[in-house]
Chain A
Amino acid sequence: MKKRNALPRLVLGAILLALPAAADAPRNPPQYAQFLVDTSTITDNFTKLQWERRPMVSDPAAIWSQGNLRCPSLTALFKAPGGLGRLPTLKELLTLLDEEPHNEYEFGAVVPKMIDQLAFAGTPVDLPYWSSTPAGSGMYWALSFKTGLMMALPEATGANVRCVR
């Protein structure tokens, strides 16, 4: 009886199995490191910034400390080991802006949101988000994730905060 060589068949089988997977494999690393539904922070693989997934909803008293705009001490990043969270600069905040809006139900209405809907699920967009970038005397730049527009706001205005480090 002639002995059959199984190696070519194994190689062919492996190629046939691997091809469909290889055709759909991502060619570049994803923008964000892996996260779970209840993960409190998320890391951008490219900008190297670590963001809070749940923003701090407007509370001027918590955000304004001794006349300065500060990341509130109640946030997850502030409490996290290895360093304090801080307010993002305007340009850092702009890296979160998704030019392709998606619709979400918020406060009884469907509103467009210009931020990743999985990484930053449930982001309220009723108010803009503070940056630490000054915009003149007593003013700071803020960014709206509803319109994608930036605006200079007087300090102590009610706005949201998403801390970073």
Chain B
Amino acid sequence: MARSELSRARRSRLAIGVTVALALPFGVACNSLIGLSDFEKGECAGARCPDEGGLIDQFVEGGTTDAPKDAPPDVLGADPVSWAKWPMPNYEVADGGIPPTAMPLVGGAGIVMDPTTGLVWRSSPLPNSFKANEAEAACRKVTVDGPWRAPKRIELVTLLNYSKSKPFVDTTAFTDLGLDTVVTSSEVRPFKVSDPARQYWVVDFGAGTVEPLPVSVAAKVLCVRATQ
């Protein structure tokens, strides 16, 4: 009798344990499905929450690191929005006489390192022009010192140098970059991957502007990667 009660108690505990173990993954999945994850994002200021995932570079001690994307493209095919994950380098004197914050670019062997952002750039754009939706694949084909990728809008913005006249970029470091328009992998919203008129953000180093460009128009590609 006592043994039977003991056995029943063990079975009961085992059943509870198995139920909890099986229910746990469903609970976690449900957490995301019903929007509790989004609620958490709301707490940390909307689109600028870390798990929005856009920018894959994280500024760490000694440089940046390329982390895997932690958010997939949305239902229309656009990647998550990117944000600055490092101090923005200013090349000009700011309001109130604040001196430039940009550290000198370090170049050599076809590579330019930006100590302010920790980003590493190819010193020359790719020889051919590419449409924005082809830029990522074109950079991945460059294997030397890679892996390389196409820059996001806010990454390419860091290279704009308003302390000089045209082109608005350090041509000592970026020797083959002139009055070029350079594509980014950042989509202009509203974006639909199936729309032939969709646009991507580009940086025009000749005019010093950041503007949309239709995907049908090819432009220069300057590949980038993290420090580590």
Binding site for B on A (CB under 8 A): 12, 16, 19-20, 23-24, 26-32, 35, 44, 46-49, 69-71, 84, 86-92, 94-95, 98-102, 116-119, 132-135, 141, 148-150
Contacts and interface: CB of A to CB of B under 8 A. Distances in A.
A38 to B, nearest CB: 15
A94 B40 CA distance: 26
Name the residue among B24, B27, B45 with the largest chain A CB count within 10 angstroms: B45
> 7 closest Cβ contacts across the A-B interface?
A28-B50, A31-B48, A132-B95, A30-B44, A86-B95, A87-B95, A86-B96
Contacts of A150: 209-211
Contacts of A30: 44-45, 48-50
A15 B44 CA distance: 26
B83 interface: yes
Contact of B28 (A24, A35, A102, A132): A24
B74 to A, nearest CB: 9
A164 B125 CA distance: 34
10 contacts: A30-B44, A31-B48, A86-B96, A87-B95, A89-B90, A89-B162, A94-B157, A95-B84, A135-B208, A150-B209
B129 to A, nearest CB: 23
B88 to A, nearest CB: 5
Contact of A116 (B24, B46, B153): B46
A12 B45 CA distance: 35
B8 interface: no
A133 B96 CA distance: 12
Contacts, number: 140
Interface string B1-40: 0000000000000000100100010011001100011001
Interface of B: 17, 20, 24, 27-28, 31-32, 36-37, 40, 42, 44-51, 58-59, 70, 81-90, 92, 94-96, 98, 153-154, 157-158, 160, 162, 186-189, 201, 208-211
Given A29-B50, A30-B48, A101 B86 contact: no
